[in-house]
Structure 1
Amino acid sequence: MKVVKALDEQKVGQEKQEQTNVENKSGFIRMKKFQFIMLLFLVVFLSAGITTFALAFGKDKVATVGADRAEFNKLYTTYDTLQSGYYQKVDQKKLINGAINGMVQALGDPYSDYMSNTEAKSFHSSISSSFEGIGAEIQEKDTHIVIVSPIKGSPAEKAGLKPHDVILTVNGKSLQGMNSTQAVALIRGKKGTKVNLTIQRPGTEAPVNVSVVRDQIPIETVYGEMVGDGIAKVQVTSFSSNTSKELVKTLNDLQKQGMKGLVLDLRQNPGGLLDQAINISSLFVPKGKVLFKVEDRNGKIKEYTSQNKGTHTMPLVVLIDSGSASASEILSAAVKESAGVPLVGEKSFGKGTVQTAQDFPDGSNLKFTIAKWLTPDGNWIHKKGIKPDYPVALPDYASLPIIDPDKELKLSSASTNVKTAQTMLKAVGYDPGREDGFYDDKTQNAVMAFQKAQGLPADGVLKGDSTVKLMELLREKIQQNDTQLQKAIEVLKDKMK
């Protein structure tokens, strides 16, 4: 049975389920679906009951509201004291926004944010089918801004940014203590403009400066190809509004090309819309089987089950890594625990919470965590991730740090950047004869050979275009020697026998 039929049947069931959810006494109500991309910062949204918040933006209104809320007396007293006694005139909206922001930050939850009306405009502009930026999901972690995953083909990926890289500064401005929304406002910008990031990679000694040229980031999320022996590889880079449709079309096209087994690649996939995770999971999980569970603050658990009547039964293996987060983890856990699909690669990111968002009349916005999500077997993977059935690492050179293109590496230089460059050169076929960080004659000769082969000025100096090209070649080398994909194909062939 074609996959498209499975999706159509699944949609009918899903519509009935959604109607049931509206009537459910637990307080769950349908919310407008958001595609929340912060540099493609995609967050799982669930239908949930939301308490209506009343915001008062005038002094008199604040005093009135506070009359019957004794717990807020200190807050209102502070507000009135600053309004009347501070040595300069204060902006009341800034005070109120600051108070709300402080309240949200006190939760200690990197996935909950208060956005001013200016920040909220950026939030809503992210819902379009494309955006302008560097193409990476970020999150706040331990007062730092950390990259969750760069998007396939994005400027961030081309610049060598990787999951867990910490962004220290943006154009010289420190991000210390900022939330992810504030960081996004600094990082995003018009296509063709440059943003300078200072990056600290775990395990490296010193931070590096990386210049990234912003670009239009299209929301094309599914890439499929035949890789031989009747096996297809389909990469899903995020879960946006059309991902399930894209996947069905791609699978049907691959079936016409003789696909008999499938490797579904969720590596570096930061997540996305919940309905898309449900749609796609239901293609591979039998009808009625649990996809995931949601546990609210009172411990009440709601199960979400596969609605598909025509399950796609083709042999399947799923690839994951540390950049697989949120909706990617929902899908991975669903197929693993409810359909017996093996996972290959590295432990996933570990985001086990669910967020929703509310707009306020003045244009500001509150995004907050409303629940935990659990795997079909009831496991909470938050901060722990999902372990693959077949742990496989990429080659060591796949985790090399970035080289700052603005730094000049030349004869007699000695640094960790030189050491990294020497390792890169050797990996792509230009052996410098040493990898100890000293730039000698052999290293210079290796650089000149590399430059000549790539049509670059053969001056033996690594800087600018030469550095960027070297990192591009290394990325291509990693793709060619994809040990995780090779293992996934091996496992899939065993399933196909």
Structure 2
Amino acid sequence: MQFKGRTVLVFVLIGMLTSAVLTMMIVDSTAKSFVSGHAASTSSDGSKLTSKDLTKLSSAYKLIEEQFYTKVDHDKLVDGAINGMLGSLEDPYSVYMDAQEAKKFEESISSSFQGVGAEVTQEEGKVVVVAPIKGSPAEKAGIHANDVILSVNGEKLDGLTLNQAVMKIRGAKGTQAKIEVMRAGVNTPILFTIVRDNIDVETVEAMMLDQGIGRIDIHQFSSNTAKRFLDELSKLEKKGMKGLIIDVRNNPGGLVNVVTEILNPFLEKDKTILQVETRDGSKEATLSKGPGKSYPVTVLMNKGSASASEILAAALQENIHAKLVGETSFGKGTVQMTFGKELGDGSNMKMTVFKWLTPNGNWIHKKGITPDIAVDQPAYFKAAPLSKKDVLKADTTGDDVKNLQLMLSGLGFKMDRTDGYFSSKTEATVKEFQQANGLPANGTVDAATASKIEKKLLEEARKPENDSQLKAAKEELLKQFAR
């Protein structure tokens, strides 16, 4: 079975995107017969809109139009009816885009995109970050997976559809998005001021590490990702690579046909890559074309690895016993299609039409995939940015002080405590940091000192030698080399 389409590019690169963790597809002629024979068929109880149903809908529309105390907008009523139907499905991945939103959706398919660069979904009415895109303004600012976005530039997101929330977050390069988030373990909201920018569309990075270990990072599964991946894989193999690390951390997903193309060389011919299940329980397997690889593979993943990333991880784990290293993945086991032509007025509807299952038939939806080797990153990787609202000084307390102490500890300074109390030792450590970085050594943390600490911490977090998950993946490959 083949799946194709361009739609995922928008969702991945638009800034804060329309929907999270995508396993998106637009069906080609081969797959369309499968859809029309299963997912697109009449429901099992034979129900369809009757003349009574149509009369009821028409009567409701007429009553609202004629009796509501203010004049109503025809298009808003119709769009609201579609939103209501999709909302009743209680599926965050099934959404409606009006003509304006659909137009922006299509316009965003280009070589460059502007926004803050993070994947979002909607859970129980809340806009939740799945993962920031690597190198994006959102990642650089300190946005984390599972952050709940409360407001944008002072406008609350409560009560908005996901599309409406995304429209608030999007914007032109150079404009500011003041994004307020709530983070688990932090008692007060965190405010990020993010300057929107062009989002890099490069999806693959490759490098040869020491001892014959190759590493390929996949940031998302877009239309050109498979070609880029296979080109880089060939280069590493020609250099004598003995084992491969595939890194899909914070990869929110993408196109099904792309991930299957990437997987094909690693699996022997006719091995199951994934299964697709329709509403009536019918299943169809996507089989590999081979030939398989002789070297071992490990996969790096975390809670921001979703959808197509999980397809890749499960296929390698269940077929070639590749070890999964890191954290339990996000858990998205559904496939969406877009319907624009059917609506006929420039609007678009994205709707979940299939489940996808692992080669062994497991549905990982809302559960994720558990790593074979569970590894947490150092504590300072999860430190929240400092609010910079107040100057931190001796005897102050709170989450900002706690995160300050965590950051300084991560930078190699010895701390007497990390409980959120600004002690005399904390003050002395701040002075030490300020002296080392050309700042006034007064022992207080103003915006300038806070920003410098955050910048230095980000530099530390990006060093491969501080990446505990990467080190564990390398160690696993070296063990396999020795066998």
Q: Same fold by TM-score, threshold 0.5 exceeded?
A: yes
C-alpha deviation, 1:32, in angstroms:
4.2
Instruction: Tell me the equivalent position of 1:181.
Output: 163
1:492 aligns with 2:471: no
Contact 1:129–1:219 at 8 Å: present in 2 too? yes
Q: 1:455 to 1:245 in 2, by over 3 A?
A: farther
* Structure-2 separation of matches of 1:459 and 1:155: 31
Counterparts of 1:41-440 in structure 2, within 5 Å, are 41=17, 43-46=22-25, 47=27, 48=32, 49=35, 69-308=51-290, 310-359=291-340, 360-440=343-423
C-alpha deviation, 1:85, in angstroms:
1.8
C-alpha deviation, 1:453, in angstroms:
2.8
Q: 1:199 to 1:339 in 2, by over 3 A?
A: same
Contact 2:4–2:257 at 8 Å: present in 1 too? no
Structure 1 residue runs without a partner (length 5+): 1-16, 19-29, 53-65
Q: Secondary structure at the match of 1:45?
A: strand
C-alpha deviation, 1:342, in angstroms:
1.3
* Structure-2 separation of matches of 1:468 and 1:214: 19
1:483 aligns with 2:468: yes
Residue identity matched to 2:11: M
Q: Secondary structure at the match of 1:37?
A: helix
* Structure-2 separation of matches of 1:241 and 1:392: 31
C-alpha deviation, 1:124, in angstroms:
1.9
* Structure-2 separation of matches of 1:311 and 1:126: 37
Contact 2:379–2:406 at 8 Å: present in 1 too? no
Per-residue deviation, residues 367-394 of structure 1 (Å, max 9, x unmatched): 0000100000000000000111111111
Structure 2 residue runs without a partner (length 5+): 41-47
Per-residue deviation, residues 423-449 of structure 1 (Å, max 9, x unmatched): 111210233533232324432332233
Q: Secondary structure at the match of 1:293?
A: strand
* Structure-1 separation of matches of 2:362 and 2:24: 20
* Structure-2 separation of matches of 1:216 and 1:261: 34
* Structure-2 separation of matches of 1:364 and 1:45: 18
Percent identity, please: 43
Contact 1:36–1:43 at 8 Å: present in 2 too? no
Contact 2:12–2:220 at 8 Å: present in 1 too? no
Q: TM-score, normalised by structure 1?
A: 0.87
* Structure-1 separation of matches of 2:446 and 2:302: 31
Contact 2:268–2:292 at 8 Å: present in 1 too? yes
Q: 1:461 to 1:118 in 2, by over 3 A?
A: farther
* Structure-1 separation of matches of 2:208 and 2:88: 50
* Structure-1 separation of matches of 2:111 and 2:121: 21
Number of residue pairs aligned between Structure 1 and Structure 2 = 457
* Structure-2 separation of matches of 1:297 and 1:39: 27
Q: TM-score, normalised by structure 2?
A: 0.89
Contact 1:318–1:332 at 8 Å: present in 2 too? yes
Contact 1:159–1:468 at 8 Å: present in 2 too? no
Instruction: Tell me the equivalent position of 1:25.
Output: none
* Structure-2 separation of matches of 1:217 and 1:370: 30
Q: Secondary structure at the match of 2:82?
A: helix
Q: Secondary structure at the match of 2:11?
A: coil
* Structure-2 separation of matches of 1:127 and 1:316: 33
Q: Secondary structure at the match of 2:65?
A: helix
C-alpha deviation, 1:68, in angstroms:
5.2
With 410-419 and 284-293 compared, the bigger mean Cα shift is at 410-419
Residue identity matched to 2:277: E
Q: 1:141 to 1:36 in 2, by over 3 A?
A: farther
Q: 1:456 to 1:276 in 2, by over 3 A?
A: farther
* Structure-1 separation of matches of 2:213 and 2:221: 23
Contact 1:130–1:217 at 8 Å: present in 2 too? yes
* RMSD value, Cα: 2.3
Residue identity matched to 1:387: T
Q: Secondary structure at the match of 2:89?
A: coil
Q: Secondary structure at the match of 1:118?
A: helix
Contact 1:432–1:445 at 8 Å: present in 2 too? no
